[in-house]
Amino acid sequence: MTNHDVDVLVVGSGASGAAFTWSLSEAGINVMCLEQGGWLNPATDYTTSDIDWELHRQTDFHPSPNFRRLKSDYPVNDTNSPIAPLMYNAVGGSTIHWSAHFPRLKPSDFRVKSLDGVADDWPITYKDLEPYFDANDKIMGVAGLNGDPGYPVKSPRQTPAIGLGKLGDKIVSGFDKLDWHWWPADSAINTVEYDGRLGCNNCGPCDLGCPRKAKSSTDVTYWPKAIKNGARLITNARVREVTVNDKGEADGVIYYDKDGNEIEQKAKIVVLACNGIGTPRILLNSKSPAFSDGLANSSGLVGKNLMFHPYARVTGIFDEDLEGNKGPTPLSIMSSQFYETDLSRGFVRGYSYQVRRSMSPLEVAFSGQITWGSDHHKEFSRMLNRTVGFVVIGEDLPELHNEVILDSEIKDGDGIPAPKVNYTLSENSRKMMDHGIGTSKQVMEAAGAIDVFYDPLIRNAGWHLMGTARMGNNINDSVVNKYGEAHDVKNLYVIDGSVFVTAGGVNPTSTIQAIALHAADHIKKNARHINTQ
């Protein structure tokens, strides 16, 4: 079956797909989005009211699709990577299970080559994206506090910063003793009612979804607005490939609907918003005689330069009840103390750390610090509500050998080849992580921790998937231009984290969405062959 009635077709309804679709719908453009997952109902589908809420982290709310194995998930071969890619496939994409950290990339992140002599410069700057950051913040709703000396001045935050709580008070004392930077980081969480959504009630596990809609996943922020504007969202629709016409221009996609029927959807413009794993997967699977190496791949860079944010976790145990179960688990204190390059540290670029509230009961039990037997209860009590976690978020540099390819054997439920990830942690990243572990310990000890332990590289931490369809001005060393338009395939755009040139050392979602809105504006202004009201 072939459908013809769409001007702009978006694949993926997550952070970028939602923002982009909304923007086009605001202009009255005929836009449709295909999403391989379905809707979650915040009132009924989240498990934080259940007594066994923690068990869902091991099953249907596990962050890895390989463990969840829901119908909407596809397998990812991550056996050749120390970091497992994580994602959620539903309306809202990975914003369903994210912890809503919402910092922006910083100005220097867009000029890594010019400033530090490594990697490449982006073809856009922080300044170029600034109006889009601000516009996005208004829709998503950002809790925070202006005045952070780690950033240029920003527009006012929509809701007050997340409270520190007793745990936050304790850990900032460590930063203050060392005269190190800390700040309540931007979080896409309503701390008070905003835009018709309730404020957060500080229950804790943001990763299990928010029944109050206080966490700003795009199913409750952008999508209601986009649909009200007339945008169409087709769920349980898994795209297999992008199609091209006889001029080599993108002209639609082929997807499988909820019943497994193969549907061809034509469109004047095709936009991929499937994350840094899903987007190269579709492009590589979109082979034709004209594009034997996959679509938009004349540079050979589709799937290449995969960047994660390597995460190390440092946990301090304190000799008092920090009420660490109270408040969003991702506390939202961030430190940029070691963010900018200082070569005396032994590596280039830098990292941030985010402070995390205390481990939950099962997290304590599985922490590796608790034994079975007669000491079990004593060890457990020593830790519950008394731990503070730092995650060290390091900036990966782009490396060609870190890649996403199509697996030669594994396929998803629709017979589409699974993506395979080949990734090694660089020496630069390892040194960065080790430095971060050391400085984290210093803060913990300065704050009074009685014990500190760490995980040098968290495996289930591949939330941020970047670089695999990078943007640039040169057709030979990039896949798309600064608006996400493919260099060698007209009418094809990429707007997710795949387009990142460098990774920065902070969560990418805010920047991904700003990029999506930037691309949307370009299309609205320049795509004369689509209809606007």
384 touches another protein by CB under 8 A: yes
Contact stretch for another protein (CB under 8 A) within 82-90, 162-170, 401-409, 469-477 = 162-170
Q: Which of 320, 346, 366, 475 binds another protein (CB under 8 A)?
A: 366
Nearer to another protein, 366 or 531 (CB): 366
151 touches another protein by CB under 8 A: yes
Shortest spacing between CB 75 and another protein, in angstroms: 19
103 touches another protein by CB under 8 A: no
Shortest spacing between CB 72 and another protein, in angstroms: 22
Phi, psi of 217 (to 5 degrees): -80, 155
Q: Which of 22, 74, 110, 194 binds another protein (CB under 8 A)?
A: 110
Give bridge partners of residue 244 from the DSSP assignment. 250
Contact stretch for another protein (CB under 8 A) within 66-74, 107-115, 390-398, 444-452 = 107-115
Q: How far is CA 95 from CA 11, 16, 56, 270, in A?
A: 16, 10, 17, 22
Phi, psi of 312 (to 5 degrees): -110, 150
Shortest spacing between CB 211 and another protein, in angstroms: 6
Q: Which of 26, 27, 75, 111 binds another protein (CB under 8 A)?
A: 111
- Give the C-alpha separation, 268 to 322, whole Å: 56
- Give the C-alpha separation, 439 to 182, whole Å: 13
Give bridge partners of residue 262 from the DSSP assignment. 256
Nearer to another protein, 424 or 460 (CB): 460
Shortest spacing between CB 368 and another protein, in angstroms: 11
Q: Which of 14, 37, 165, 472 binds another protein (CB under 8 A)?
A: 165
Binding to another protein by CB under 8 A, coded x per residue (else -) over 32-71, reads --------------x-xxxxxxxx--x-------------
Give bridge partners of residue 317 from the DSSP assignment. 387, 451
Q: Which of 12, 85, 205, 417 binds another protein (CB under 8 A)?
A: 205
Nearer to another protein, 225 or 326 (CB): 326
Nearer to another protein, 377 or 411 (CB): 377
# residues near another protein by CB under 8 A: 71
144 touches another protein by CB under 8 A: no
Nearest to 350 by CA among 320, 393, 301, 387: 393
Contact stretch for another protein (CB under 8 A) within 3-11, 164-172, 221-229, 301-309 = 164-172
Question: Which residues lie below 8 Å from residue 179, measured CB to CB, with a gap of 6+?
Answer: none
Question: Which residues lie below 8 Å from residue 169, measured CB to CB, with a gap of 6+?
Answer: none
Shortest spacing between CB 305 and another protein, in angstroms: 22
Q: Which of 374, 415, 528, 533 binds another protein (CB under 8 A)?
A: 374
- DSSP alpha helices (H): ranges in 270-426? 275-285, 361-365, 376-383
Shortest spacing between CB 51 and another protein, in angstroms: 6
Nearer to another protein, 49 or 292 (CB): 49
**Beta carbons of 423 and 79 less than 8 angstroms apart:** no
Nearer to another protein, 307 or 506 (CB): 506
Contact stretch for another protein (CB under 8 A) within 29-37, 238-246, 368-376, 451-459 = 368-376
Number of neighbours of residue 335 by Cβ within 10 angstroms: 25
Binding to another protein by CB under 8 A, coded x per residue (else -) over 339-358, reads xx------------------
Contact stretch for another protein (CB under 8 A) within 207-215, 407-415, 472-480, 490-498 = 207-215
* The amino acid at 455: D
- Give the C-alpha separation, 345 to 342, whole Å: 6
- Give the C-alpha separation, 433 to 154, whole Å: 29
- Site residues for another protein, 275-334, by CB under 8 A, read 321, 323, 325-327
Nearer to another protein, 296 or 388 (CB): 388
Question: Which residues lie below 8 Å from residue 402, measured CB to CB, with a gap of 6+?
Answer: 304, 305, 306, 307, 396, 422, 423, 424, 467
**Beta carbons of 281 and 242 less than 8 angstroms apart:** no
- Give the C-alpha separation, 310 to 204, whole Å: 24
Nearer to another protein, 96 or 242 (CB): 96
Question: Which residues lie below 8 Å from residue 350, measured CB to CB, with a gap of 6+?
Answer: 338, 339, 340, 341, 342, 394, 395, 432, 505
**Beta carbons of 486 and 478 less than 8 angstroms apart:** no
